Structure 1
Amino acid sequence: MEVSCNLSPIVFSTRHSEPELVVPAEPTPNEVKLLSDIDDQEGLRFHLPIIKFYHHNPISIMKGEDPVKVIREAIAKALVFYYPFAGRLREGPNRKLMVDCNGEGVLFVEADADVELWQLGDTVQPPCPYMREFLNEVPGSEGIIGCPLLLIQVTRLRCGGFVFVIRMNHTMCDTLGLVRFLNMVAEFSRGKCAPTQVTQLPVWQRHILNARDPPTVAFTHQEYGDVIDEKTYSLAKHVGGSDNEVVHDSVFFGPKEILSIREKLPPPLQNCSDFELLSACLWKCRTIALEPNPNDIVGLSCFINARGKNGLQVPNGYYGNAFAFPIALSKAGLLSQSPLGYALDLIRKVKTLMSEEFIRSVADLMVIKGRPMYRTVGNYLVADTTRVGFDCVDFGWGKPVYGGPAGAISCVSFYARFKNCKGEDGIVVPIWLPRSVMENFRSELQKIITQDPLNDHSYTNTLPKRSIISKL
């Protein structure tokens, strides 16, 4: 297990050009499109940055080409097909979101950084400490209503490599939908004149994930809303901290660490996925580190893709949000004191809830309850992007050294693929925790990884006392 700190080891200068608007390369329909009731959630009204680092490739098909110019032109061509991205969100009655497809364009920033990719080392993994250099947050662009839906920056590096960052308005698409757009941009970058069969044409059809008429909520959906009394609930003190009170780190799980954790499980459970395994481990360690009261209820919500679920018929090319995040719940003391298989079993059971009826129930809940926010107090949300395809987008210079989410957000972690400087392929998980909790979390995680599989109860018979926190 490796934990990266968010301190910057090197200093370099970055020159940013004035932001510009990239519009579709050809005229596009001027119309208004409604988002679905799955898109239109309070919890998705934020911007998610994705970052990619590319080596200089002297033998690539793009030898001598400027990545800024090539990618900017490719974006304009892709926007002909994904023209809603070039529009602006509006609110209708009851705060219903819709896209005014007016062709205003997406924000684009050209930049040059006085650094070489090799100097960045493993800091290219999330959380990248240089996000201010690689994503110039354009003033006035951070809003949801009436603001650009995409902000893109391409930064040339001194070595000939480059960094690509795209910040998306999450109400417009999920990570799978964004990868579809990026793959089309990549095809145009590599010289294609039109989308190929490999890149499916985009499909809107947001109505398929709208609430029913009449709406019928068929599940309790405890993943939405903080229904506890925050004055008596011990974990409420960890919600809404300022940037000075939290630490943004990441954990790298290589093959040895994953095997070591898997060996802690009884044989019937060892066939679980890496995502299930790491989610159980992180949920347990995070809970212990937060030091809740044993009777407090804690949760873990897994983002589960709805594509391919029987009855939903989500079409190929659909790029809207098509997921739900059912929640596993446990008393904190029971989760902390039980073997790892207890957490894993809860996660696997809750994943079976995902069905056509479940996601339709979520859409109905959004309409009936006024789009409630997902549960934050005592909840940990995890999303697996290891198979989404961010690490495979090739603009013509090869695959990225790292491609995926730029970091965690509050109580949400994104899992991504990464090969570290030792050449180990693994999974990197960024995590955001209060400074007073992070050292306990690291300690508990190390215990699980190094613990004797035959002695799974050796350190969880009581919740640990707060340890002395070293300076980070």
Structure 2
Amino acid sequence: MLQSSEIPDCFYPNQPTLVSPNSPTPKHTLYLSNLDDQKFLRFSIKYLYLYKKSVGLESLKSSLSRVLVDYYPLAGRLRISSEDDEKLEVDCNGEGAVFAEAFMDFTVEEFLEVSRKPNRSWRKLLYRVDSQSFLGIPPLVIQVTKLRCGGMLLSTAINHCLADGIGTSQFLHAWAHLTTKPNADLLVTPFHSRHVLRPRKPLKITFPHLEFTNSTHPHYPNGTTLLDPTQQTMVPTSSTFTPTQILHLKKLCVPSLKCTSFEALASHVWRTWVRSLAPPPSIKVKLLFSVSIRKKLKPELPEGYYGNGFVLGCAEASVKELVTANMRHGVKLVQEAKATLTDDYVRSMVDFLEERRVKPDLLASLVISQWSKLGLENLDFGEGGPLHMGPLASEIYCLFLPVIGDSDGTTVLMSVPESIAGKFEFYLREFPEREEHEVKDIGESRPLI
């Protein structure tokens, strides 16, 4: 039995290489939309996969070189726009993706034993590019780590400014497809242009966009705000919800309100987070959650669009309102937030971001990103599907992750202040038979951070 969740160091037999497209690609500048280059998206989405059996390195490199012909912007480099120093663009120069090979004295079984929650030692599973800034890191960085038992860990970092969750899944499946079938055509042709999301002229901002409206909240006695990770010790928590448990949450809303699994679980996690933090009852708290706009726009975004085709839905309530009301109330707030995300709303947001380069209001907000319906858990490079799929590190955002072997289950992974972790996990697992069992008076709560 392992005594620590720390994993061993990686051994690099060779220096990382650059894998470039294996045939000439267009050389031009790729415009990024206002949804692409938002300041809060200037990081890489980092995925981690565990496989029972390794795939040949040369096979992975060859298929990567081939797929980068189609996804050539990922082989380019980000830079500041020559027209606007607050916007980014992609120099499609074919320079290549970083590919690192490593070995770790560890087994698949040992990793599965420590894989319930990410920890900082997992960061060594992705080669760290030495750069002075975010712009100096190539849009695509990959590390393949062979294990002692013949298994394999695959870590990928894909720049969020170039692709969202749907887009990254589309790219990874294209890579896997060409690994198993080198001479095949792609199942989905990538659509590169982001001009379909250009701002209007003149700008037309017709909504308040509460997701970007900064709120001012009182500080706790120790000087921290509701959730300021820079001033607190954050720890990852992880809870898996079975289809039966999710159905139980949904039944708390019927017969007066029907809801989706996401709406029920998101509302439950939001209320649990607030209950655990126990802030003053009058504080306004937000739930921000990613919603795909691919089918909401008129016309719809083209098939194969892999750029950022999502916006943040924003539900808002006072602490007292959210926690003392029944489950249906929280779900209704989520549904109302989703209903506002029309074509007009999205166009207004694009124009709003053209006028104001702002970040979402995170001062008293829970942010949920749904990875559980992207097909990420089905990535097969020819030796079978993954035994584990998740983020490389636990960030402040809440992730809804797929459950390997259970397409209707969801794992909720998020970091919370260490002082409330136990309470948060307890409330998260609490399934009242009746809503009357919920907290009666939030006014009796005391700040825990």
Q: TM-score, normalised by structure 2?
A: 0.91
Mapped partners of 2:274, 2:313: distance in 1: 18
Mapped partners of 2:197, 2:221: distance in 1: 35
Partner of 2:345: 358
Mapped partners of 1:312, 1:244: distance in 2: 45
Mapped pair 1:134 → 2:125: yes
Mapped pair 1:9 → 2:11: no
Matched position secondary structure for 2:48: strand
Partner of 1:68: 57
AA at the equivalent of 1:415: F
Q: How far apart are residue 129 of structure 1 and its match?
A: 5.9
Aligned-CA RMSD value: 2.6
AA at the equivalent of 1:147: I
Partner of 1:290: 277
AA at the equivalent of 1:100: D
Mapped partners of 1:361, 1:140: distance in 2: 36
Partner of 1:95: 86
Whether the 8 Å contact between 1:126 and 1:428 is mirrored in structure 2 is no
Q: 1:145 aligns with which of 114, 135, 140?
A: 135
Partner of 1:49: 46
Write out aligned runs for 1:224-303 (5 A).
224-228=212-216, 237-242=225-230, 245-269=233-257, 271-303=258-290
Partner of 1:446: 429
Q: How far apart are residue 184 of structure 1 and its match?
A: 1.5
Partner of 1:178: 168
Which 5+ residue runs of structure 1 have no aligned equivalent?
Answer: 1-6, 57-64
Partner of 1:409: 395
Distance 1:468 1:351, change over 3 A: closer
CA offsets, 1:163-203, max 9 Å, x none? 1111111111101111111112112211331424xx21111
Mapped partners of 2:314, 2:329: distance in 1: 15
Whether the 8 Å contact between 2:43 and 2:134 is mirrored in structure 1 is yes
AA at the equivalent of 1:139: D
Distance 1:391 1:243, change over 3 A: farther
Q: How far apart are residue 391 of structure 1 and its match?
A: 0.9
Mapped pair 1:219 → 2:207: yes
Matched position secondary structure for 1:193: coil
Mapped pair 1:437 → 2:442: no
Distance 1:67 1:358, change over 3 A: farther
Q: How far apart are residue 274 of structure 1 and its match?
A: 1.6
AA at the equivalent of 1:308: K
Matched position secondary structure for 2:300: coil
Q: 2:441 aligns with which of 461, 469, 472?
A: 461
Distance 1:424 1:235, change over 3 A: farther
Mapped partners of 1:86, 1:223: distance in 2: 33
Mapped partners of 2:68, 2:385: distance in 1: 22
Q: How far apart are residue 236 of structure 1 and its match?
A: 5.8
352-361 or 121-130: bigger deviation? 121-130
AA at the equivalent of 2:147: L
AA at the equivalent of 1:386: S
Whether the 8 Å contact between 2:377 and 2:404 is mirrored in structure 1 is no
Partner of 1:380: 366
Matched position secondary structure for 1:151: strand
Mapped partners of 1:116, 1:18: distance in 2: 23
Partner of 2:336: 349
Mapped partners of 2:127, 2:86: distance in 1: 29
Whether the 8 Å contact between 1:323 and 1:359 is mirrored in structure 2 is no
Mapped pair 1:207 → 2:195: yes
Whether the 8 Å contact between 1:153 and 1:164 is mirrored in structure 2 is yes
Matched position secondary structure for 1:49: strand
Whether the 8 Å contact between 1:233 and 1:296 is mirrored in structure 2 is no
Which 5+ residue runs of structure 2 have no aligned equivalent?
Answer: none
Distance 1:464 1:162, change over 3 A: farther
Q: How far apart are residue 109 of structure 1 and its match?
A: 0.9
AA at the equivalent of 1:262: K
Matched position secondary structure for 2:174: helix
Distance 1:11 1:311, change over 3 A: closer
Distance 1:126 1:83, change over 3 A: farther
Whether the 8 Å contact between 1:383 and 1:415 is mirrored in structure 2 is yes
Matched position secondary structure for 2:57: helix
Distance 1:9 1:326, change over 3 A: closer
Matched position secondary structure for 1:177: helix
Mapped partners of 1:418, 1:128: distance in 2: 19
CA offsets, 1:227-248, max 9 Å, x none? 3256589996244434861112
AA at the equivalent of 1:241: P
Matched position secondary structure for 1:456: helix
Distance 1:317 1:358, change over 3 A: same
Whether the 8 Å contact between 2:250 and 2:260 is mirrored in structure 1 is no
Whether the 8 Å contact between 2:323 and 2:439 is mirrored in structure 1 is no
Q: How far apart are residue 457 of structure 1 and its match?
A: 4.1
Q: TM-score, normalised by structure 1?
A: 0.87
Q: How far apart are residue 30 of structure 1 and its match?
A: 1.6
Percent of paired sites with the same residue: 28
Distance 1:468 1:346, change over 3 A: closer
AA at the equivalent of 2:441: N
Mapped pair 1:394 → 2:390: no
Mapped partners of 2:38, 2:438: distance in 1: 43
Distance 1:445 1:226, change over 3 A: same
